[in-house]
């Protein structure tokens, strides 16, 4: 399968967040009816995005049409500072007209394996499914760690999670040992759109390695995310894009 991400380069992280916020406005306009299923992620650029949406996009978005999921979640209570859901609640949901029935957080009150199972059931119940029995997200927003991980698919668990038969799985953070629930590779690749938000000069080399398909690029989970029939968009700032010719 060809690998040809659509690159959208902005001047800095704030501009990336703004470009992506405009993209959400456009997605809603392009599909004028029905829900948009959007998987969120943790990370620094999404934080800028959530702040911006709450500050400047409250009246530009029909919030009632957005349904939120998480590509991965840390197995901590929702009010823990490490919780991806908790962060979005604080920065965005508390400030915009979104109701609880639109928010589909990972049930971290359960043990990790039970949480992954229940979250997969929720996705199957709420999302449209493809012919392979995989749920389809309209937008799967992801980040990339310096080690090339995405969601909670790390180089260390890539083999099992990229080819998993499950929809969600338990992952262990390779350094902290923290348990996470993550969507698996097949689910990421069943999305109608995968959008990576990647900023900062800490990511420059990794971005170049993956986009230029350099030797060793296949060792990074991000390199394996390429939706089968959906779009792949990389939203970069100039610092992250520096070595791919921008």
Q: Which of 10, 83, 84, 189 binds ligand 6PG (CB under 6 A)?
A: 84
Site membership for ligand 6PG, residue 42 (CB under 6 A): yes
Q: Give the per-residue contact string, 88-127, with ligand 6PG (x = CB under 6 A; - = no).
A: ----------------------------------------
Site membership for ligand 6PG, residue 51 (CB under 6 A): no
Minimum distance, C-beta of residue 30 to ligand 6PG, in the bound complex (Å): 25
Q: Which of 9, 16, 41, 105 binds ligand 6PG (CB under 6 A)?
A: 41
240, two tokens: 């992250």
The residue among 44 and 156 lying less far from ligand 6PG, judged by its C-beta, is: 44
Minimum distance, C-beta of residue 100 to ligand 6PG, in the bound complex (Å): 22
Q: Which residues pair with residue 134 across a beta bridge?
A: none
Site membership for ligand 6PG, residue 148 (CB under 6 A): no
Q: By the criterion CB under 6 A, which residues form the site for ligand 6PG?
A: 41-45, 72, 84, 143-145, 149-151
């Amino acid at each position: 399968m060809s690998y040809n991400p659509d690159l959208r380069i902005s001047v800095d992280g704030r501009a990336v967040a703004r470009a992506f916020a405009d993209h959400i406005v456009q997605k809603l306009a392009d599909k004028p009816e029905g829900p948009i299923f959007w998987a969120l992620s943790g990370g620094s650029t999404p934080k800028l995005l959530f702040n911006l949406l709450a500050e400047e996009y409250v009246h530009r978005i029909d919030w009632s049409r957005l349904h939120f999921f998480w590509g991965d979640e840390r197995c901590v209570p929702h009010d823990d500072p490490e919780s991806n859901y908790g962060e979005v609640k604080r920065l965005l949901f508390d400030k915009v007209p979104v109701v609880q029935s639109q928010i589909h957080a990972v049930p971290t009150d359960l043990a990790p394996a039970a949480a992954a199972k229940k979250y997969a059931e929720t996705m199957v119940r709420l999302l449209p499914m493809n012919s392979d029995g995989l749920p389809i997200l309209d937008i799967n927003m992801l980040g990339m760690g310096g080690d090339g991980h995405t969601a909670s698919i790390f180089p260390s668990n890539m083999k099992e999670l990229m080819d998993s038969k499950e929809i969600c799985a338990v992952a262990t953070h390779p350094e902290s040992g923290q348990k996470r629930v993550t969507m698996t590779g097949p689910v990421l690749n069943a999305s109608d759109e995968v959008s990576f938000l990647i900023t900062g000069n800490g990511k420059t080399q990794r971005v170049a390695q993956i986009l230029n398909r350099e030797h060793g690029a296949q060792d990074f989970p991000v390199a394996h995310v390429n939706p089968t029939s959906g779009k792949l968009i990389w939203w970069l700032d100039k610092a992250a894009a520096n070595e791919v010719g921008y």
